[in-house]
Amino acid sequence: MHTQSNNFLKENLFTINSEEELVNSFRARDQKKLVLPEKVNFPLHARSYFTWKESSGVYTYLVIKLPNWDMPRGVVFKRTPSTGEPTGGLCSWCNAYGSSEDIGMLSVAMNNNVSFSYFICQDLSCIEKIEDAANLSGKDPEKYIAELYFRIGKMFEKISGYKPE
Structural domain total, the chain? 1
**Per-residue tens of pLDDT for the chain, all 165 residues:** 443 444 444 567 899 999 999 999 999 999 999 999 988 999 999 988 999 999 988 999 999 998 888 899 999 999 987 777 778 899 999 999 999 889 999 999 888 888 899 999 999 999 999 999 999 999 999 999 999 999 999 999 888 764 444
Position 5 in a domain: no
Position 111 in a domain: yes
Contact 80, 60 (CB under 8 A): no
Position 7 in a domain: no
Domain that holds residue 124: 13-160
CA-to-CA dists, residue 55 to 5, 38, 77, 80, 107, angstroms: 24, 10, 14, 16, 18
